[in-house]
């Protein structure tokens, strides 16, 4: 048995499930995303145990990483899915997730997406406005198929996370104002082909102060209890996701405190609880292997130019995100302060700024850790750059997850116009 995750062997070289990372880079090239099913399974089982005492159902947040095989792997472990587009729905179906385990969230479901979801009888819609409700009602009535509806509350809570991933404040586009929930939930009960199934909340991602979860969930429960006391059925509460993980150190997420929060509020409750973890299940199970193209020095500034770029990993550019970076083969030598940058023609194309790192040579391999979530899934072909290869490590073997287009494949998708 090998340790889960990415570990160093007796020669100080990085491995995954007994396979050296440099051999994988030699086989598949770089940049290269590698996902470890061992750590994926470990994280899933820890989260499953965390919500077990409140009988929570897990719906993997597909937006974190929408690889069909990754969705399928979590599905085999028992997860349903939380989706935010009909494209993600089709990926889930391809992965073997049945529609009755799929929750459709997001503010911008169009009528075509809604119709496909209703025809396939998904588990529920998490809706974000009264206007969305009437779109669903119109289509459900036309099809004569009942749609299950959960109202997402906006509790106006700022959970002390990055502004771009904070979703529980009134100024954001997400959810329905607390004060409007009662009247809209009452309307649900008057509409044919609409089945009210509960309330939900999701206040953001990368939350480390669990008092914010307690506040949001307590508010959710208070509103649900009030509805029930007024004779409405509220069987389900969707608690979303958002538990923070550590990008800057090798430290486990705080599952125990989260377990205490949900147990304090819901242990012995009649509510059926749903959870939507994404990042916490897959982020640490992924790394990005990249090769040093060259070193460059401008006066007192050092640059390590690598073959991975913002088109592969945009989180540092978009969120000023931190990722640990280290050589695949442990090397000794002088430490330098350097910007680790890609080849794209943007000053914002960086993976790390002013990072202390052992001086590396051209063609050395580096790994960028914790890139399993919100990394490859946010890729682009900017500067006509091709996608990084993605592989999954399962039972000591490597599997390429998808066909990677070369530049001629990308060009072939364009229709060439004959100009006179």
Residues 90 and 31 in one domain: no
Residues 379 and 287 in one domain: yes
Could you give the dihedral angle defined by the CA atoms of residues 153, 279, 114 and 228, in that order, rounded to the nearest 10 degrees? -30
418 is a domain residue: no
Spatial distance between the Cα atoms of 228 and 191, rounded to a whole number of angstroms: 18
Residues 64 and 14 in one domain: no
Domain boundary among 263, 279, 295: 279
Task: Return the percent helix, strand and coil in the chain, to nearest 5.
Answer: 35, 25, 40
Residues 106 and 225 in one domain: yes
Quote the number of domains for the chain: 2
Integer CA distances (angstroms), 21 to 26, 197, 356, in order? 9, 47, 23
Comparing CA positions, the residue from 68, 100, 72 lying closest to residue 87 is 68
Q: Identify the segments of the chain with pLDDT beneath 70.
A: none
For residues 178 and 199, the answer to whether their CB atoms sit within 8 Å is: no
420 is a domain residue: no
Comparing CA positions, the residue from 90, 87, 34 lying closest to residue 282 is 34
Q: Read off the CATH number of the domain in which 334 is found.
A: 2.40.37.10
Integer CA distances (angstroms), 93 to 87, 122, 265, in order? 10, 11, 34
Domain range enclosing 86: 38-279
111 is a domain residue: yes
Spatial distance between the Cα atoms of 217 and 100, rounded to a whole number of angstroms: 25
pLDDT at 353: 97
For residues 48 and 58, the answer to whether their CB atoms sit within 8 Å is: yes
Domain boundary among 217, 244, 279: 279
Specify the DSSP class assigned to residue 164: G
167 is a domain residue: yes
For residues 103 and 124, the answer to whether their CB atoms sit within 8 Å is: yes
pLDDT at 232: 95
Spatial distance between the Cα atoms of 318 and 321, rounded to a whole number of angstroms: 8
Q: Is 98 helix (H, G, I), strand (E, B) or coil?
A: coil
Token reading at 326: 């280290």
φ, ψ (nearest 5 deg) of residue 348: -75, 0
Residues 65 and 171 in one domain: yes
- Residue 238: count other Cβ atoms within 10 Å of its Cβ: 27
Residues 59 and 45 in one domain: yes
84 is a domain residue: yes
Integer CA distances (angstroms), 394 to 35, 249, 400, 401, in order? 9, 25, 11, 12
> Chain-centre distance of CA 87, in angstroms?
15
Q: What sign has the CA pseudo-torsion 361, 346, 282, 357?
A: positive
Residues 96 and 208 in one domain: yes
Helix (H) or strand (E) holding 15: strand 14-16
Spatial distance between the Cα atoms of 29 and 123, rounded to a whole number of angstroms: 41
225 is a domain residue: yes
Burial call 138-158: b when 16+ CB within 10 Å, e when fewer = ebbeeeeeebbbbbbbbbbbe
Query: pTM of this prediction?
Result: 0.95
pLDDT at 370: 97
pLDDT at 81: 98
Active site residues: 345
pLDDT at 171: 82
Residues 14 and 117 in one domain: no
Q: How many CA atoms lie within 13 A of 58 on its CB side?
A: 22
pLDDT at 164: 82
pLDDT at 230: 94
Specify the DSSP class assigned to residue 136: H
pLDDT at 187: 93
76 is a domain residue: yes
Residues 78 and 203 in one domain: yes
pLDDT at 169: 82
Spatial distance between the Cα atoms of 26 and 240, rounded to a whole number of angstroms: 40
pLDDT at 331: 80
217 is a domain residue: yes
> Chain-centre distance of CA 304, in angstroms?
29
Q: Read off the CATH number of the domain in which 248 is found.
A: 3.20.20.10
Residues 252 and 346 in one domain: no
Domain boundary among 279, 295, 329: 279
Residues 57 and 31 in one domain: no
**C-alpha radius of gyration, the chain, whole number:** 23
- Residue 79: count other Cβ atoms within 10 Å of its Cβ: 23
172-184 residue pLDDT tens: 888 899 899 999 9
Comparing CA positions, the residue from 400, 287, 306, 326 lying closest to residue 28 is 400
Helices marked H in 53-177: 68-76, 86-94, 111-119, 130-143
Residues 247 and 324 in one domain: no
């Amino acid at each position: 048995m090998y340790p889960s995750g990415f570990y160093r062997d007796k020669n100080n070289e990085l491995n995954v499930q007994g396979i050296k990372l440099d051999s994988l880079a030699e086989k598949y090239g770089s940049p290269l995303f590698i996902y470890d099913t061992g750590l994926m399974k470990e994280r899933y089982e820890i989260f499953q145990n965390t919500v077990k005492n409140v009988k929570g159902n897990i719906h993997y947040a597909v937006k974190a990483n929408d690889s069909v095989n990754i969705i399928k792997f979590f599905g085999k472990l028992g997860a349903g899915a939380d989706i935010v587009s009909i494209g993600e729905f089709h990926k889930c179906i391809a992965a073997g997730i049945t529609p009755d385990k799929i929750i459709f969230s997001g503010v911008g479901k169009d009528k075509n997406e809604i119709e496909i979801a209703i025809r396939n009888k998904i588990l529920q819609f998490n809706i974000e406005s009264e206007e969305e409700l009437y779109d669903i009602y119109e289509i459900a009535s036309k099809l004569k198929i009942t749609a299950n509806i959960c109202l997402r509350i906006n509790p106006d809570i700022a959970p002390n996370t990055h502004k771009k991933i904070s979703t529980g404040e009134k100024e954001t586009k997400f959810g329905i104002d607390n004060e409007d929930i009662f009247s809209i939930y009452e309307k649900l009960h008057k509409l044919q082909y609409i089945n009210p199934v509960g309330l939900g909340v999701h206040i953001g991602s990368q939350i480390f102060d669990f008092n914010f979860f307690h506040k949001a969930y307590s508010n959710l429960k208070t509103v649900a209890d009030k509805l029930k006391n007024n004779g409405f059925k509220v069987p389900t509460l969707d608690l979303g996701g958002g538990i923070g993980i550590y990008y800057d150190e090798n430290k486990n997420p705080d599952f125990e405190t989260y377990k205490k929060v949900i147990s304090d509020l819901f242990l012995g409750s009649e509510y059926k609880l749903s959870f939507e973890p994404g990042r916490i299940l897959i982020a640490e199970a992924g790394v990005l292997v990249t090769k040093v193209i060259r070193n460059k020095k401008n006066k007192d500034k050092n640059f390590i130019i690598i073959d991975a770029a913002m088109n592969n990993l945009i989180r540092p550019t978009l969120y000023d995100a931190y990722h640990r970076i280290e050589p695949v083969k442990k090397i000794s030598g002088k430490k330098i302060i350097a910007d680790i940058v890609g080849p794209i023609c943007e000053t914002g194309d960086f993976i790390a700024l002013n990072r202390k790192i052992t001086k590396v040579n051209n063609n050395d391999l580096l790994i960028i850790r914790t890139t399993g979530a919100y990394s490859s899934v946010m890729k682009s072909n900017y500067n006509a750059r091709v996608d990084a290869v993605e592989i999954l490590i399962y039972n000591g073997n490597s599997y390429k997850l998808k066909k990677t287009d070369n530049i001629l494949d990308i060009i072939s998708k364009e229709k060439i116009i004959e100009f006179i």
